[in-house]
Each structure stands twice: as C-alpha cells, then as structure tokens.
Structure 1
C-alpha cells in the first residue's frame, strides 16, 4: 500500500501553514473524518491553537492593529479600556427570564458547565493580556456565547456555524481585510473543515449548515461593530432587545439546528 503523498518541491516552503505537520494533520483529520467514535468534534483543538500562535507573525499583526486603531476611534477606545468580564454564574442567574444573561445561565447549568472567563489564570494567577492581539483573543473567547444568543441558533454542534459566519462578516465589514484574515485564522481552521466534512459524509444537512453560515455572515456584514460590544451591560435584555439596541441588521429569525446536529454528530447533539 502506498504511503502518504509527499509535498512536492513546489509546495514545500510555499506556506508556513502547509509546512507545519500539526496544521496539516489538523486540516486532513477534521476535513476528511466522520464524526464517529469517542473523539470530540474538535479533537486536538488546544494543539491546533498552540500551533497557530507559534506560526503567526505576531509583530506584523500587532502593527496592523496599531494602524487600524489610528483610523478607527471606537476600536482604539476598546483596546485602551481593555475591559475584562468578571461576572459569575450566579450573577447570570439574577437576570430576568428570557434575557441573554439568564439564557446563558440556564444553558450552562443544564450541562453542568462552569465559567472560564480567564482560563489563562488557571496556570498563572497573575496573567493579564500584554498585547492588543492577546486582548482580542481573550475578549473573543469571553463573548463568543453572546453570538449564539443574539443569533438564536442554539448551542448544539451546527449552532456553532452561525457565530462563525457572524464574526467573519463583522470583522471584514469593520477592519481591513488583511487584519480580519489574521484575526479569523483560528475560526477558519475550526469551522471550515466542517463544511467539507458535511459534504463528504452528511450531505443531507448541507443546506442547514450553509444557511447558518450565510445568515450569520449577512448579519455580521450589515451590522454595527459587534466584537467591541460590552455585553455585560445588556445581560438583562432579551435577544430581540439586544439586536435592537446594537443595530443588528439582516436577522431573519431563529434556527432550530438540533436535528441537523444529531446527524452531524452521529447521535451527539453537543460536541
């Protein structure tokens, strides 16, 4: 039996991503696999995120952010303030029924989840973001669940696709394309392999997957800058009220992705 296909001379060295075995393994595994067995649907995520962080040109990205800040006063203020979430699960539970704070609380309680707003401090209690890129990465993780909530797409596997589309459309609408691409690298490696995996193994749910991504992308493209929002001031509002408050446009209604998620997860709704 033939071994793995080697990189051609023309391909080797053409891309730092292609040259890294960890990234090649991630892309091949998550693009071609079925969702069977005990593995998580995002098996190997910490290793991939670590590889991305090692391979990216941090100095270049930081320079791009500084250039963007000179042109974008709202973005500049957001980076200057460096606001970090400190709410607790109990704080979320104090919000009214149907609000985004209460919805997030109820979701986490139902799955027995705990809040990890500052996961880096588990290893180093004194950790704080030192750079703009570190802050963007931290804040993106802290606010990701709110993308689910304003999209009313659920927290199941296919419910992850709307937030990816939303963030992609929103960054390209409000940042230079080069910077948007850099900040979306990890999102791309997580989400885009799902599209090929769906087409190869679960084509019956392709329309649902594409609808979630394209709907999110349309909302993100048409809406105000959502990734700099201080969501903690809106926890008492319903998803519809939040969309109105933030100037969210293009939203055409909630999506129930649970049936599609069960097909994609081969019996597992949540990954």
Structure 2
C-alpha cells in the first residue's frame, strides 16, 4: 500500500487544483489615488461654486497660469534661481554638517568643543536670525546661501553623529579581532553602519533647504519662487500663490524620491532597504 509524500513541489487541495499565489496590494498605486481624488474634488467644488476663485482657484486655473508663465519664460527663470540657491546652500551646509558630525562622532574632545555651540544655534528660529543675516550680508545672494546652508547643516550633523555612535560594538570587536587597523575599521565597519542615518539626514536637509529658501527669498530677492509669491501677494494673484505652493510641494516630492533612490542604491546590502519600491 503506497503512501503520499509529505513534501512535494506543490500541494493540491481536495479538488486537485493548485492553490493560487497570493497577490500583494499595489501599494505604490494606492499612494497616488488619494492625492488625485483630492484634486478632482477640489476642481469639482470650484466649478460648482462651493469655493470662491479669489479664495482658492481651481487646479485647472492654476495649471493655465503655470502654462502662461512658462511660455513667457518667467516661471523657468524663477525656478532656476531657486534651484541654484538650494543646491549651493545644500552643498555648503551638507559638507560642513558632515565634517563636524564625523569629528564629533569620533572624538569626545571635539564633541565638548562643537556640540554645545551647534545645539544653541540650532534652537534659534530663522526669522529671529534673519535681521542679523541682512546686516552681515545685505540683501545679496550670500545671505541666502548662508541661510540655506545653516538650515541644511543641522540634520546632517545630528544624523551623522547618531549613526557613528550607534554602530554595533560587536561589529567593531569583530573587526579588531580580524586585524583591521583604525582606518580600515572606519572604512569597512563604521561608515557602512552609519550610512543609513547619514542618508536620512540628507533627506531631512533637502526639506530644510526649501524651508530656509522660502524665508530667504521673501526679503529683497530679485528672482526666485519666493519672490513670485511675495509679488503675487502684493497684487492679490491667488492663482500664482497657489502655483508657488504646488511648486514647492512638487520639488520637495521630487528631491525626496531622488534621496530614496540614492538610499536604495547605496544600501542595497542592507536587509531593511532590499526590495524597497516606494
């Protein structure tokens, strides 16, 4: 009398059919459904007269304004100026935050010299320091670069220190047992271990760059997205103001997607980032 094997390539139910593979939900598609539905509801409410156009113009009206400003070349010019300021400020502030974070993370002496001062400066609001920045730099580009650099340096600094301090001591001990020198230990163990936290700091810095730029461009800027918003406020151009808000949102979303792509590329070895398709 024969018996059926317990293990096999597939297990059939009583009807003889092979069970279907369970499908996962399309989470990426679902994440876009809610924003699209909100836009449709906004458009319909505006067309029905539930929302006054001078209070909140319809998305179609904002899109028409964007197309017109693009045709005249005004929107690309202002957008380029803002992107340039954000990139330069991020490069300066990110480099400074990374260097100071590495020094503080590896040296208790550097921590005692640097960390307290950075925490004090970090607690000062941008609007409080803005008058002093104008005295130092005037209304030129240097002050705007300084504000963006200041805002982007803090998250990178804090996350770099945190990443270095949170490296698993067991990994460090294994590296020492394997005969790794100090520099090799930093390169092979400390930097990979701290990299997830550092990249999180980069994502936060990208957000802070635009927050700082909003403040920097509303004071004496001859061009830029913030200048567009200030000018539109003076002439009660609600559609331009909403367009600026949408631009900030789209730029923030785009930069965050770029940062997430960088995470997936540099952290492909990390189990928490494997297969991240968001």
Scaled by the length of structure 2, the TM-score of the pair is: 0.23
Q: Which structure's CA Rg is the greater one?
A: 2
Higher helix share: 2
TM-score by length of 1: 0.23
- Name the structure, 1 or 2, with higher relative contact order (CA <8 Å, separation 6+): 1
